[in-house]
Structure 1
Amino acid sequence: MKRGFVAALLAGLLVASLAFFAPPVHPAKAAETQDTARTLTVTGRGQLDAKPDTAVISLGVSELRSTPIEAYNALQASITKIAEAVQAMGIKEDQIQTSIFNLSAEYDWSQEKGRQLVGYRATNTLTITTQELDKVANLIQAAVEAGANELNGVSFSVKNSDKLLEEALKLAVDDARAKANLVAGELGAKVARVQSVSVQDQGVSLVRAKAEAEGMRMDGGAAAAAVPVYSGTTMFSAAVSVTFELE
C-alpha cells in the first residue's frame, strides 16, 4: 500500500514539473492555430464559338426481298450506285466508310395468322466525310437520287478542336481570376495566392442536323432541288473552380 502511494506521488510531481518547464505558447501563434486562412472560391467559365470545317453524312440503303440472296444482291447494286454518285462529285474512296452492314429476317404478326415471315432485309449505311461544306446538300441529293432511302443525319465538327478547348480553358481561368479580384476588393481584401484548382468540365457541343428518309425519298424521280443543310456553329466551353487565399 505504501509503495503504491509513493509511486502515485512521484508521477504527479513529474507531470507538474513538465508543465512548469514547458515553453510558453506565443499569443500570435495561438491565434494563428485557431484561425484558418481566409479563402475565396469562385467558378470561372470560358466559351467560344467556331465555324465547323468538317461534315460527316450518314446515309444508306435498306432493301427487303423474299430471299436472303435477293436482298443482298439488291443492296449491293444500290450501295454501288450511291458510292459512284458521290465519287462523281469529288468524294474520294477513303472519305467513304461502311458503318452498318446487316442482313436479317423480317416478320409480321397479326391476330389471325400470328407470326409470319415477310422477307429478308439487307441494310448498309455509309458515312461520307467532307471538308467542302457547301457540297453537303448536293451530296445528299445525289445519294438519294442514286437509291439511298435512309438518311440518319449530318454532324459537323472542327478539326483543331484541342486548340479551341485550350483557349476556352484559358478564358475560364481569366474569368475566375477577375471574379476573385472583384469580390476580394469589395470585401477590403486582396488575393494572395491560389490554394487549389479543379477543372469541372470541358467539352464541345456538336451541331447536328437530321432529316427523315421518308421525307427525302425520291420514289424513282429526281429531286427538284437539294434540301438546304446549315452547319451553324460549334460551341467550345470549359469551367474551373479556383480557391484563392486572401490577405
Structure 2
Amino acid sequence: MSKKLLFLISILILVLPFTLFVNQALASEGSLHVTGTAVVTGLPDIVYISLGVETKHSSAEAAAKKNALIMNQVYTALKDLGLTEQQITTSGYQIYSSTQVLNRGTDQEKTITTYHVNNRVNISTKNLEQIGQIIDNAIKAGANQVQNVRFDIENKQQMQLQALKNAVQQGKAKAEAMAEAAGITLGGLANMSESYSSYTPMMDTIAVKAEALAFSNTTINPGQVEVSATVSMNYWF
C-alpha cells in the first residue's frame, strides 16, 4: 500500500469521528439553521470587448485573404490607440461554407457555394473612457461584428471578503432574533459554509451591418459589478 494512500486513510480516520460527533450533537441538543446573504457593489475597472471580421466569397482562399487584410487593418487601428499585443488576443477563427440553390426544379437550377471566414479577437483595457473609440476605430477599419462588451473588476478579492463578513453578520443577527422569539438560548456555532456569485454588466451581441458602419462616437456607460456571498450556519441550542 502506498504512503499516499495510507496518509489519506489516516486523515479519514481522524475526520470521520469528529463529523459523526457534530451530527450526533446537533441531533441530540437541537440545532438552528440560518442562511445569511449580502451583496457588495463596485465600479468596474476593466472592460473586455469581443469583436470580429466576417468575410465571404465564392472562393475559400479569396475569403481568407480578404479577412486577413481587413483584420490587419483592425489591428493597426487598435494599436494606434495605444493598445498592446497582450491586450488584443485572437479568440476564434472559423471557415465554413453555405449553399444556395437557385431556380430549383428548373433547367436553370444552379447551386451556389459561398465560403465564410470569421476571425474574432478579445480586447481588454482599463481605460473605460476609450471603449467607444475602440469600437468606432475597429469598425471604421473593417470590423463588422461586435459580440459583447463586458465590464468587470480585475481583483474582486476584497469585495468577496466584505460580502462574506456582511453575510455572516446577517446570519448571526437572524439566528439571535429567531432564538429570542422562540425563547431559547442560542449556543455556539456548530458549522458554517459559504458560496459566492458575481454579476458583471454585459452588452450582448451588438449587431453591426455593413450599411451601418459609418456611425461614430459610440457611447457605452458601464453599470456596477456585484459580488454576493451566502453563508449557511448551524447553531446549537
Compute the TM-score of the two structures, normalised by the length of structure 1: 0.78
CA contact (8 A) 2:39 2:229 kept: yes
Unpaired runs of at least 5, structure 1? 1-32
Q: Distance in 1 between matches of 2:98 and 2:83?
A: 34
| Structure 1 position 39, deviation (Å) | 1.9
Unpaired runs of at least 5, structure 2? 1-24
CA contact (8 A) 1:57 1:155 kept: yes
* Structure ID, larger Rg: 1
| Structure 1 position 213, deviation (Å) | 2.7
Task: Name the residue aligned to 1:214.
Answer: 208
Task: Name the residue aligned to 1:228.
Answer: 219
CA contact (8 A) 2:63 2:117 kept: yes
Aligned-residue CA RMSD (Å): 2.2
Q: Does 2:145 align with 1:150?
A: yes
Amino acid at match of 1:94: Q
Q: Distance in 2 between matches of 1:154 and 1:53?
A: 13
Q: Distance in 2 between matches of 1:175 and 1:115?
A: 70
CA contact (8 A) 1:165 1:203 kept: no
Q: Which of 154, 161, 165 pairs up with 1:159?
A: 154
Q: Which of 197, 202, 205 pairs up with 1:203?
A: 197
Q: Which of 61, 73, 76 pairs up with 1:69?
A: 61
| CA 218–82 in structure 1, closer or farther in 2 if over 3 Å, else same | farther
Q: Distance in 2 between matches of 1:179 and 1:94?
A: 48
Task: Name the residue aligned to 1:60.
Answer: 52
Q: Secondary structure at the match of 2:81?
A: coil
| Structure 1 position 109, deviation (Å) | 4.2
| CA 101–115 in structure 1, closer or farther in 2 if over 3 Å, else same | farther
Map 1:46-195 onto structure 2 (within 5 A): 46-109=38-101, 112=104, 116-195=111-190
Task: Name the residue aligned to 2:16.
Answer: none
Q: What is the count of residue pairs matched by the alignment?
A: 209
| CA 169–109 in structure 1, closer or farther in 2 if over 3 Å, else same | farther
Task: Name the residue aligned to 2:17.
Answer: none
Q: Secondary structure at the match of 1:182?
A: helix
Amino acid at match of 2:131: V
| Structure 1 position 93, deviation (Å) | 1.4
Q: Distance in 2 between matches of 1:188 and 1:120?
A: 75
- Of stretches 175-184 and 105-114 in structure 1, the one that deviates more from structure 2 is 105-114
| Structure 1 position 232, deviation (Å) | 0.3
Q: Distance in 1 between matches of 2:103 and 2:232?
A: 61
CA contact (8 A) 1:144 1:218 kept: no
Q: Distance in 2 between matches of 1:40 and 1:115?
A: 75
Task: Name the residue aligned to 1:25.
Answer: none
- Of stretches 85-94 and 205-214 in structure 1, the one that deviates more from structure 2 is 205-214
| CA 52–90 in structure 1, closer or farther in 2 if over 3 Å, else same | same
Runs of 4+ in 1 over 3 A off after TM superposition: none
Q: Distance in 2 between matches of 1:50 and 1:218?
A: 38
